[in-house]
Amino acid sequence: MTEVSIEQLTKDYGQGPAVDGISVRIAEGEFISLLGPSGCGKTTTLKMIAGFEDATRGAIRFDGRDVVHVPVEKRDIGMVFQNYALFPHMTVERNLAFGLEMRKIPKTEIRDRIAKVLDMVQLTGYAERYPRQLSGGQQQRVALARALVIEPKILLLDEPLANLDAKLREEMRVFIRDLQRRVGITTVYVTHDQAEAMTMSDRVVVMFGGRIAQIGAPSDIYERPANLEVAEFVGQVNIVRGKVVNSIVSTPLGDVPVVGHYADGADITLALRPEAVELLPVTAGVAGVPAKVLSSYYSGSLVDYRLELANGTIVNVQTFPRTRFRDGETVLVHAPADRFWPLGSVA
Amino acid sequence: MSKPFFTVYCLVIYAFLLAPILVVVGASFNAGAFLTFPPQGLSFRWYGVFFNNEVFMRAIRTSLWIAAVTTVISGIIGTMAAIFYVQHSGKLKETVRIAMLAPLLLPEVLTAISLLFFVYSIGVGTQTMVGMIVGHVLITLPFVFINVSASMESYDPAWSMAAQSLGAGRFTRFRRIMLPLIKPGVIGGCLFAFIISFDIFTISFMLKNVGTSTLPIQLFDYLRTNFTPEAAAVSTCSIVLTLVVVVVSEKVLGLRIHRF
Amino acid sequence: MSAVAGKRLGPLLLIAPAAILLTAFLVLPYLNIVLMSFRMPGQGTPYGPGLTLANYGKFFSDIFYIQQVVNTLWIGFVTTFACLVLGYPVAWQLARGTSSLRALGYGLVLSPLLVGIVIRSYGWTILLGNNGLINRTLMGWGLIDGPLPLMYNALGIIIALVHVFLPFMILPIMSAIQGIDPSLEAAARSLGASKLTAFRRITLPLSLPGIQAGCILVFVLSLSAYVTPSLIGGLRVKTMAVTVVDALIDTFQWPFGSAMALVLSVTGAIFVVLFGRLTVMKWKA
């Protein structure tokens, strides 16, 4: 198992940095995701870790050894590509044997290791198939097996689920996560899909414009986003602005006490996740802010509401569909004060 | 235009395209001493004359030898250039494409003249085959380039990257991954280069070595003064040779040859 | 060498042989022709010392050469036009036709390219000669009394050139038509255009790039053709390319031959550029 440490890593193609001095330490056996919109530098970072791109500045250390000048083929990485990149002229077995042959592993051992890895990805019996004879999910698993069979120091995955249909994608998330836990390999996973990053990773690195916006466990990223950009990229969010007076912010959804160093009179932005808000029918004696239902979207397990407060503020709310409200109906909105998360002062 | 008329029209054009070739093949079986119509009986007489004509046999050997050398050189240079071409984009890519196709777009007669002067001005002259082979390589290069770059279009660069991530060095990546996957294009391009080289006339005519002629030159010289069906027999053998190469490559090796 | 420099150099090594070959044996020799056309004619040698404009003077002061350039251009125009008219329907059928003839047709269009030009021209001498197949047949049927003059004139040269270059017209047009979305024509039909109108207003203009490429290719090839005109035209009708090659090979007039070749090339290039201007396609970026 390998610890990967990235220090001040920078890539500049000549028109400003694509990756701008990022630093991360990835622990042995950790599953880390690089999450961000396209063009944020996540794929470039992965390619630099793999060695396909040269770093303009900075260091990449595998167990303390700087590998920046080590060519890809000597870096001992396992990589899964977006379109799998299975060699079309080779059977599954030949694909899996390729990396082992490069390492001059004896034939008998190659056979044993292929059998073992095929069992691991549940493809025993598919050794003689050609890639085009496999389904998308099967190709995906062969690509994983090919990267793992060489027992690399780290596993790199570049949006590996992007080409699969929705149902298969969810299955593969669980499959890859479980496999990674069993093998215990240090893993870097690139994706633009926040749900993927959240469900699979130990930690998520959120990137914008070549810089790291936040590093943290999925729950940190979701519940305690570092800034507005992160909050909006990771799931839906209501943004509420207000002034701090005596450590209390008055918002259209009620007063929110804020802890921390906020000067009186400072403008502050608060994030409120739609599912943190409760909706109640208008009944005498129940506290809440009245709001009108503009529209609702039913998706089976959940309902999304779009509401308008008396002052015109729009609030998005997600609830279980136990009680349904009709469009145009007036409801009471209750947002617990501890579910607001401050995103720092408004500039 | 009505459909049957249209079909007939196309058939007429196809017949026009094939006519002179069929006529040559037909004439080769003429038993008479001259190309007369109707033929004076069928025979293989002129094939016998041809096979015993040392001048033609030597020309065929020369042509085959030059075509073989040309194919090897053109195949290697053209394949390398095609690999470079598909790995780049933008202005450089377009420049490479135009440069590589230039020998095909420039008039062959002008290229031949320029090479003739050039081999003399650099002191090589036509005593050696150098000028002739250079000319053949120039003319055949675009065909290798077109075929290899066409097969490179369906080559996913991620295959090379995957091989590299698995520990394969530059040479191994080329030999084990890229070459097997672009092989149809390389073989197709080389076969085309061979056929084209075998048929090149103007370049060979201007740059020929004294005493050694290729088959097209020998045939041309012969036709200027002789009218026997021997020339038809020679031509037919040349056509059959080409046909065998094409049929073998398309049917046996299952290749698709790209010309444009 | 550092890893970075190695990565930069690697791809350049791929293109280096082709670049060297094309520079040394195509670019430099072509420039050399220009120089050669200004050299002094030699006595017993291909060229003498010193530079002169006399080669061009000799060319333009002789009506014989001017006439030959005009003849060559005329043959080029007629050949190109005939190839376009004869080839377009075939190209359309190869691109769009549904009949089983398509695969066969493609092979038939390609196959002449695989037969040497000497052999194909030879075939035409057999067909067109005074004792050739065509004249013999027509006389045999009693349709004509004496042989029609099909060889040793411009008509024979054009017939043979059309045959030789027709595939070069058909193939680019075919790929241009293949690149046109058939639903465009369907859309025109749905808007009320007849089949012919849909073709004339949609398919034909969109296939212009192929027509342009084919016409330029055939025109340039016709101007520079040597084998076909010299076998069919014999000594009686000479095109410019034949005169040039003879001047170089038979009489070793290298400077004068170069001047003639350049005049022909520049004239041809002017017409190609003019043609390009006339067929500018504004919808193409």
Query: Closest Cα of chain A to B92: distance in Å?
Result: 18
Cis bond upstream, residue B103 (ω within 30): no
Beta-carbon pairs below 8 A across chains A and C: 6
Read off the tokens for B171: 């040479």
CA distance C8 to chain A (A): 11
- pLDDT tens per residue across span C33-82: 999 899 988 777 778 788 888 889 888 999 989 999 999 999 999 999 99
Stronger pLDDT, A292 or B209, i.e. the higher one: A292
Chain A residues whose CB is inside 8 A of the B172 CB are: 102
In the CATH scheme, what is the code of domain B55-252? 1.10.3720.10
Which residues in C lie closer than 8 A to residue A69 (C-beta atoms)? 2-3
The residue of A11, A54, A66 whose CB has the most chain C CBs within 10 angstroms, and thus the best one to mutate to test that interface, is A54
What does the pLDDT read at residue C1? 34
B243 touches chain A (CB under 8 A): no
Which residues of A fall within a CB distance of 8 Å from C2?
A: 69
Q: What is the pLDDT of residue A344?
A: 65
Quote the minimal CA–CA distance from C32 to chain B in Å.
7
Q: How close B93 gets to chain C, by Cα (Å)? A: 11
Least confident of A270-284, C2-16, C239-253: C2-16
pLDDT at B38: 63
Residues of B in contact with C125 (CB under 8 A): 223
Tell me if chain C has a CB within 8 Å of the CB of B174.
no
Taking the CB of residue B225, how many other CB atoms lie within 10 A of it?
6
CA C103 → CA A274, C99, C239, distances in Å? 62, 9, 37
Interchain contact, A73 vs B165, CB within 8 Å: yes
Q: Does residue B175 or residue C9 have the better pLDDT? A: B175
- pLDDT of C4: 44
Nearest-CB residue to C29 (from B21, B88, B115): B115
- Answer yes or no: do A71 and C3 touch at CB < 8 A: yes
Nearest CA in chain C to A69: C3
Mean pLDDT, chain C, integer: 86
Residue C1: closest CA among chain A residues belongs to which residue?
A69
Question: Which subunits sit against B, judged by 3+ Cβ pairs under 8 A?
Answer: A, C
Most B CBs within 10 A among C7, C26, C37, C222, hence the mutation to make, goes to C26
Report CB contact under 8 Å: C93, B6: yes
CA distance B57 to chain A (A): 42
Tens digits of residue pLDDT in B11-45 = 899 999 999 988 888 888 877 776 665 667 777 78
* Closest CA relative to residue C272, chosen from C203, C223, C235: C223
pLDDT, residue A129, reads: 93
Name the residue of chain A whose CA is nearest to B157's CA.
A85
Q: Could you report the per-residue pLDDT of C251-277, keeping only the tens digit for each? A: 888 899 899 999 999 999 999 999 888
pLDDT at C5: 42
Strand order in the sheet with A65-66: A17-26, A4-12, A57-62, A65-66
Q: Is B163 on the interface with A (CB under 8 A)?
A: yes
What is the per-residue pLDDT for C3? Answer: 43
Per-residue pLDDT of chain A (347 residues; tens, 9 = 90+): 799 999 999 999 888 899 999 999 999 999 999 999 998 999 999 999 999 999 999 999 999 999 999 999 999 999 999 999 999 989 999 999 999 999 999 999 999 999 999 999 999 999 999 999 999 999 999 999 999 999 999 999 999 998 888 889 999 999 999 999 999 999 999 999 999 999 999 999 999 999 999 999 999 999 999 888 999 999 899 998 888 888 888 888 888 888 777 778 888 888 999 999 988 888 877 788 889 999 999 988 899 999 999 888 899 999 988 888 889 899 999 888 888 888 864 43
- pLDDT above 70: percentage of residues in chain B: 92
**Distance from chain centroid for Cα B80:** 19
Alpha carbon distance A240, A268 (integer Å): 8
Query: The tokens 């033929």 sit on which residue?
Result: B39
Contacts of C4 in chain A (CB under 8 A): 54
Q: Read out DSSP for C215-230?
A: HHHHHHHHHH--HHHH
Helix (H) or strand (E) holding B195: helix B179-199
In the predicted model, what is the mean pLDDT of chain B?
85
The alpha carbon of residue A85 is apart from the nearest alpha carbon of chain B, in Å, by 5
**Cβ of C30 and B19 within 8 Å?**
no
Q: Which two tokens stand for residue A49?
A: 């870790």
How far A307 CA lies from chain B's nearest CA (Å)? 48
Rounded to the nearest angstrom, the minimum Cα separation between B168 and chain A is 6
Match 């040559």 to its residue by tokens.
Answer: B24
Tokens of A256: 């929110």
Q: Which residue of A has its CA nearest to C4?
A: A54
Neighbours of chain C (3+ CB pairs under 8 A): A, B
Question: Six-digit token pair at A322?
Answer: 């136990």
What is the pLDDT, as a whole number, of residue C182? 85
ipTM for the predicted complex: 0.85
C2 vs A69: CB contact, 8 Å cut-off? yes
Q: Three-class SS string for chain A?
A: CCCEEEEEEEEECCCCEEEEEEEEEECCCCEEEEECCCCCCHHHHHHHHHCCCCCCEEEEEECCEECCCCCHHHCCEEEECCCCCCCCCCCHHHHHHHHHHHCCCCHHHHHHHHHHHHHHCCCCCCCCCCHHHCCHHHHHHHHHHHHHHCCCCEEEEECCCCCCCHHHHHHHHHHHHHHHHHHCCEEEEEECCHHHHHHHCCEEEEEECCEEEEEECHHHHHHCCCCHHHHHHCCCCEEEEEEEECCEEEECCEEEECCCCCCCCCEEEEEECHHHCEEEECCCCCCCEEEEEEEEEECCCCEEEEEEECCCCEEEEEECCCCCCCCCCEEEEECCHHHCEEEEECC
Does C3 sit within 8 Å of A69, measured CB to CB?
yes
Q: What is the pLDDT of residues A36-47, one digit of tens each?
A: 999 899 999 999
C81: CB partners within 8 A, 6+ apart:
none
CB-closest option in B16, B37, B259 to C113:
B259
- What is the C-alpha to C-alpha distance for residues B71 and B139, in angstroms, rounded to an integer? 11
Q: Is the pLDDT at B253 greater than 70, yes or no?
A: no
> CB A54 to CB C2 under 8 A?
no
pLDDT, residue C133, reads: 83
Mean pLDDT to the nearest integer, B156-167: 93
Sign of CA dihedral A109, A110, A115, A120: positive
Q: What are the residue boundaries of the structural domains of chain B, listed by start? A: 55-252
Question: CB-CB: which of C22, C101, C136 is closest to B99?
Answer: C22
* 8 Å CB contact of B156 and A77: no
All structural domains of chain C = 58-284 (1.10.3720.10)
Q: Which residues in chain B have their CB less than 8 angstroms from residue C224's CB?
A: 107-110
User: Is residue B254 predicted with pLDDT exceeding 50?
Assistant: yes
Quick one: pLDDT at residue B250?
67
Predicted TM-score of the model (pTM):
0.81
